[in-house]
């Protein structure tokens, strides 16, 4: 139950209780007060009842006296003749005929009774009453006939020697009593009772309903039996509480007593005051209603701030510190609210700090990987096109080792500053663990992406000044686009990484993701899975492409070109798996197999006689592998061969990618006696001056310059000048990709040492090569002869 509801219920219940107690007390006090008041009123009513009876007596006496003042009537009375009296009576006005007329004569005997009930000559039953009239001028009393009570008043008429009494009789009827009752404020009931000698008192006439007569009789009888009968008594009448009293109003000579009984029902009396009580009840009800409304507002004003505090605490518990408590009361609750606000501020700043630490790289202030992934997910959800450009600083570990970690860290900070200066607007930079960074460009075209890459590469080519030293760094950049290259953050970053691998092999040092060259394509991955297995099962073999010595016109050697006899796909050419093997880390195994196979083959051919050379292709990863030269040494040690007959070909671009890493291996290999050849020369940017420092003995001009040599003036110039320069360095030169006689002739003319190409022969299986070799070299070639292979 809500706190507010509780308070409301409590207050309303309290108020109702207080109201009920007050009302009960008021009711009781009022009742007892009213009872006392009613008892007093009963005294008054009681007196009035008796007074009314007495007034009627007086009235009757007055009437009798008035009659006696009428001489004609008096005469009729004296006549004592019934007929005369009746006639005289009939002549009187109506008011005199409503009551019974009684005439008593000498010896107190009845002369006349208008009701004709008492017989003439009969002794009047209460002679005392007559005597009293004689002495006081009138007298009043009661008479009973057939159980009915009547009031009677006598007035004496003094004749010369006799006295006649004129009596007026009026029966006490219910109407009579009702008439008296109307003048009494209390809702009383009046009764007239008689007690005949030796008999219990009984009600003669009463305003009480007939059904209550008997129990009321009992009440009065009990009252009469009690000693203090004149005091009003509270008693019960059936199920009603009543206050009753009884008074003797007359006693007849025969001991018959007449009583005036009076009572009222307390409930009836109080019911007179019911409107007052109802009014009090209404006031109480209105009071409760007002109190309820008041309680609602009080409870609300008390609980609202508490609820506000409660909600704030719940918010804090759920980690929401941003919404402050809006309580400005100058009391404890207000102060509590302000304290909570202070707490929230401190929690918020701490949580901001923690959040910053969790989402940023502290050294550079750039977003970290978690933040980057979150931000990319937001953009992906919003279908916002973007490009992720992954940047890697080459040889950073060497820089770190050379300069020390402190300067290395400073370099990273300067690098990130320079990167920031290149990026504008909504574009975004993050640092990944280590030396990788990511630039995210929004709504960028491929051209813009390339421009940014170019600008970044150019900017980073400028040296960094670290503690007075000028440090040169090289970076690679790989880009992947949303939505073209991936639908989620991880895929996009992986694709950018694939593009970065591509960039490492590319002279521009930048590459955008290309799904065709992605080694992680499912079919590529499955091919890779089979490569090691294929090596073990002997699925790889060499084809040998002859190499012609232009000076002698003889086949001086061959290049071993690897093939994979795939169980499902048949013969696969190296273009499809070499790069893949390089990226997946399998190239080492492949190269060692190749070298071992080439050495074995050389051993076999040397045994047959002849100084044939075999060129084997190496990968840049091989020569960067520190153990490579020692592994080759082991292979060489196992063979009886002249290592100078093994030519190791490394492409120019590979050699240039990480020359410092490769140099040591190249020197070792050269020292072992192998001949080193720079392959695919011309497509890289290496200067002859640099090549001169390398332990190479031969340069192989890339076939893209050779094939079109005679048709393309540029190629012509390049090939000519290359041959000239190579010779000037004391090195030999081979032109590969010779496809026709004219090219051969031209190359011979300009002094090229060796040629290779489809024009001589396509790569051949071992047996075919051996046949070709024997056939060709058996021809008599003299130095200087034109070589004509057709």
CA dihedral (81, 87, 88, 91) in degrees, to 10, reads 180
Cα distance between residue 611 and residue 777, in whole Å: 12
Residue 652 interacts with, from Ca ion, ligand C2E, none (CB under 5-8 Å by kind) = none
At its nearest, how many Å lie between ligand C2E and the CB of residue 624?
13
Query: 392 is in the binding site of which of Ca ion, ligand C2E, none (Cβ under 5 to 8 A by kind)?
Result: none
Specify the residue, 477 or 618, whose C-beta has the smaller distance to ligand C2E. 618
| Residue 485 Cβ vs ligand C2E, minimum distance, rounded to whole Å | 27
**Which residues, 6 or more positions from 654, have their beta carbon under 8 angstroms from its beta carbon?**
505, 619, 620, 623, 662
Q: How far apart are CA 672 and CA 644, in angstroms?
A: 9
Q: Which does 578 bind (CB under 5 to 8 A by kind): ligand C2E, Ca ion, none?
A: ligand C2E
Pick what 574 binds: Ca ion, ligand C2E, none; C-beta below 5 to 8 Å, kind-dependent. Answer: ligand C2E
C-alpha 713: how far from chain center: 76
The residue among 167 and 594 lying less far from ligand C2E, judged by its C-beta, is 594
Residues 6+ apart with CB under 8 A from 529: none
Q: How many helices (H) and strands (E) does the chain have?
A: 26, 26
Q: To the nearest whole angstrom, how small is the minimum distance from the Cβ of residue 661 to ligand C2E? A: 17
The C-alpha angle 361, 363, 364, rounded to 5 degrees, equals: 75
Closest residue to Ca ion in the complex (CB): 649
Q: How far is the CB of 561 from Ca ion (least distance, A)?
A: 8
CA dihedral 100, 103, 107, 108 (to 10 degrees): 30
Choice between 387 and 734, CB closer to ligand C2E: 734
Q: Which CB sits closer to Ca ion, 88 or 614?
A: 614
Write down the residue that tokens 């070799």 correspond to.
773
666 binds, among ligand C2E, Ca ion, none (CB under 5 to 8 A by kind): none
CB 452 within 8 A of CB 441: yes
Binding partner of 654, given Ca ion, ligand C2E, none, CB within 5-8 angstroms per partner class: none
99 binds, among ligand C2E, Ca ion, none (CB under 5 to 8 A by kind): none
- What minimum distance in Å lies between the beta carbon of 510 and ligand C2E? 23
DSSP secondary structure letter of residue 785: P
What does 261 bind: Ca ion, ligand C2E, none (CB cut-off 5 to 8 Å by kind)?
none
Instruction: Give the list of residues 6+ apart from residue 553 with CB closer than 8 angstroms, or none.
Output: 781, 782, 783, 785, 787
Smaller CB separation from ligand C2E, 387 or 756: 756
**What pairing do the DSSP bridges indicate for beta strands 646-651 and 613-617?**
parallel
Q: Which does 619 bind (CB under 5 to 8 A by kind): ligand C2E, Ca ion, none?
A: ligand C2E
Minimum CB distance to Ca ion, residue 518 (Å): 24
Q: Measured between alpha carbons, how far is residue 188 from residues 5, 51, 160, 177 in Å?
A: 52, 16, 50, 11
Please say whether the beta carbons of 555 and 780 come within 8 A: no
Check if the beta carbon of residue 205 is closer than 8 Å to that of residue 192: yes
Which parts of this chain interact with Ca ion (CB under 5 A)? 617, 649, 679-680
273: helix, strand or coil: coil
Q: Which residues contact 342 (CB under 8 A, 6 or more apart)?
A: none
> Least distance to ligand C2E from the beta carbon of 764, Å?
10
162 neighbors 271 (Cβ within 8 angstroms): no
The CA-atom distances, in angstroms, between 666 and each of 46, 559, 662, 693 are 148, 19, 6, 11
- Residue 539 partner contact from Ca ion, ligand C2E, none using kind-dependent CB cut-offs of 5 to 8 Å: none
Our CB check for Ca ion shows the closer of 485 and 649 to be 649
Nearest of 678, 693, 587 to residue 631 by alpha carbon: 587
Q: Are 155 and 68 in contact (CB under 8 A)?
A: yes
39 vs 269: CA distance, rounded Å:
10
CB of 752 to Ca ion, least distance (A): 15
- Could you tell which of ligand C2E, Ca ion, none binds residue 757, using a CB distance below 5 to 8 A set by kind? ligand C2E
- Nearer Cβ to Ca ion (513/705): 705
Q: Which residue lies nearer to ligand C2E by CB, 3 or 573?
A: 573
> To the nearest whole angstrom, how small is the minimum distance from the Cβ of residue 498 to ligand C2E?
20
* Smallest separation (angstroms) from ligand C2E to the CB of 546: 10
Task: Identify which of residues 99 and 702 has a Cβ nearer to ligand C2E in the complex.
Answer: 702
Least distance to ligand C2E from the beta carbon of 665, Å? Answer: 14
> Which residue, among 239, 188, 248, 225, has the nearest Cα to 50 in the 3D structure?
248
CB count within 10 Å of CB 30 equals 16
Nearer to ligand C2E, 561 or 752 (CB): 561
Give 295 or 598: the residue with its C-beta nearer to ligand C2E.
Answer: 598
Beta carbon nearer to ligand C2E, 236 or 571: 571
Of 665, 604, 610, 672, the C-alpha closest to 635 is 672
Q: Kindly state the smallest distance separating residue 556's Cβ from ligand C2E, in Å.
A: 16
561 binds, among Ca ion, ligand C2E, none (CB under 5 to 8 A by kind): ligand C2E
| Contact of residue 682 among Ca ion, ligand C2E, none (CB under 5-8 Å per partner type) | none
387 vs 743 by CB, closer to ligand C2E = 743
* Nearest approach, Cβ of residue 734 and Ca ion (Å): 9
Binding partner of 584, given Ca ion, ligand C2E, none, CB within 5-8 angstroms per partner class: none
Least distance (Å) from ligand C2E to the CB of residue 642? 20
Q: Please report the DSSP string for 188-246 in residue order.
A: EEEEEEEE-TTS--EEEEESS-GGGHHHHHHHHHHHHHSTTTTS-EEEEETTEEEEEEE
Q: Which residues contribute to the site for ligand C2E (CB under 6 A)?
A: 545, 561-562, 573-575, 578, 591, 594, 617-619, 649, 679-680, 703, 736-739, 756-758, 763
Whether the Cβ atoms of residue 578 and residue 505 lie closer than 8 Å to each other: no
Pick the closer one to Ca ion by CB: 263 or 769: 769
């Amino acid at each position: 139950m809500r706190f507010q509801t509780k308070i409301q219920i409590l207050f309303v219940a309290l108020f109702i209780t207080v109201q009920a107690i007050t009302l009960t007390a008021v009711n009781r006090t009022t009742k007892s007060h009213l009872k006392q008041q009613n008892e007093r009123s009963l005294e008054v009513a009681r007196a009035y009842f008796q007074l009314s009876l007495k007034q009627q007596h007086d009235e009757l006496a007055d009437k009798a006296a008035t009659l006696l003042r009428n001489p004609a009537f008096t005469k009729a009375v004296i006549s004592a003749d019934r007929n005369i009296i009746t006639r005289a009576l009939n002549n009187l006005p109506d008011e005199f005929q409503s009551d019974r007329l009684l005439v008593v004569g000498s010896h107190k005997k009845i002369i006349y009774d208008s009701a004709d009930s008492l017989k003439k000559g009969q002794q009047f039953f209460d002679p005392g009453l007559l005597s009293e009239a004689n002495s006081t001028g009138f007298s009043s009393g009661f008479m009973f006939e057939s159980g009915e009570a009547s009031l009677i008043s006598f007035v004496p008429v003094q004749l010369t020697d006799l006295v006649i009494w004129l009596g007026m009789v009026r029966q006490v009827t219910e109407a009579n009593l009702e008439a008296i009752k109307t003048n009494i404020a209390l809702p009383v009931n009046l009764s007239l009772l008689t007690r005949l000698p030796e008999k219990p008192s009984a009600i003669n006439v009463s305003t009480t309903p007939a059904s209550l007569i008997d129990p009321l009789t009992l009440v009065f009888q009990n009252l009469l039996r009690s000693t203090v009968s004149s005091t009003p008594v509270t008693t019960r009448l059936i199920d009603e509480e009543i206050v009753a009293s009884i008074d003797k109003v007359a006693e007849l000579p025969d001991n018959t007593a007449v009583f005036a009984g009076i009572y009222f029902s307390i409930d009836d009396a109080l019911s007179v005051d019911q409107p007052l009580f109802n009014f009090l009840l209404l006031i109480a009800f209105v009071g409760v209603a007002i109190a309820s409304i008041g309680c609602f507002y009080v409870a609300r004003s008390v609980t609202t701030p508490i609820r506000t505090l409660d909600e704030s605490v719940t918010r804090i518990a759920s980690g929401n510190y941003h919404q402050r408590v809006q309580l400005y009361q100058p009391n404890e609750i207000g102060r509590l609210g302000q304290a909570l606000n202070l707490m929230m501020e401190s929690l918020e700043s701490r949580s901001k700090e923690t959040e910053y630490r969790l989402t940023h790289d502290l050294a550079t202030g750039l977003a970290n990987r978690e933040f980057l992934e979150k931000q990319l997910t937001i953009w992906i959800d919003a279908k916002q096109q973007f490009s992720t450009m992954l940047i890697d600083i080459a040889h950073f570990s060497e820089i770190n080792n050379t300069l020390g970690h402190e300067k290395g860290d400073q370099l990273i900070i300067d690098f990130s500053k320079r990167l920031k200066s290149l990026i504008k607007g909504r574009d975004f930079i993050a640092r990944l663990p280590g030396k990788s960074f990511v630039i995210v460009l929004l709504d960028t075209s491929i051209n813009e992406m390339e421009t940014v890459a170019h600008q970044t590469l150019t900017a980073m080519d400028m040296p960094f000044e670290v503690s007075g030293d000028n440090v040169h760094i090289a970076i690679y950049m790989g880009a992947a686009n949303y939505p073209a290259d991936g639908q989620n953050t991880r895929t996009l970053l992986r694709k950018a990484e694939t593009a970065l691998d591509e960039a490492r092999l590319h002279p521009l040092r930048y590459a955008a993701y290309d799904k065709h060259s992605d080694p992680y394509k499912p079919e590529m991955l499955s091919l890779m899975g089979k490569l090691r297995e294929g090596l073990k099962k002997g699925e790889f073999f060499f084809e040998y492409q002859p190499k012609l010595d232009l000076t002698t016109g003889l086949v001086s050697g061959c290049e071993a070109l690897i093939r994979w006899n795939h169980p499902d796909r048949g013969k696969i050419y190296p273009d499809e798996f070499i790069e893949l093997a390089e990226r997946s880390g399998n190239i080492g195994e492949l190269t060692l197999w190749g070298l071992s196979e080439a050495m074995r083959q050389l051993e076999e051919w040397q045994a047959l006689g002849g100084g044939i050379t075999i060129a084997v292709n190496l990968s840049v990863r091989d020569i960067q592998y520190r153990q490579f030269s020692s592994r080759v040494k082991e292979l060489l040690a196992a063979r009886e061969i002249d290592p100078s007959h093994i030519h190791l070909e490394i492409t120019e671009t590979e050699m240039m990618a990480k020359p410092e890493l490769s140099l040591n291996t190249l020197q070792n290999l050269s020292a072992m006696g192998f001949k080193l050849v720079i392959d695919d020369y011309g497509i890289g940017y290496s200067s002859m001056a640099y090549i001169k420092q390398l332990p190479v003995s031969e340069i192989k001009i890339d076939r893209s310059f050779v094939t079109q040599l005679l048709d393309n003036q540029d190629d012509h110039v390049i090939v000519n000048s290359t041959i000239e320069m190579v010779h000037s360095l004391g090195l030999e030169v081979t032109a590969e990709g010779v496809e026709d006689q004219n090219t051969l002739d031209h190359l011979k003319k300009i002094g090229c040492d060796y040629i290779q190409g489809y024009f001589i022969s396509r790569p051949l299986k071992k047996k075919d090569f051996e046949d070709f070799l024997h056939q060709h070299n058996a021809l008599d070639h003299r130095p200087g002869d034109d070589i004509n292979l057709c």
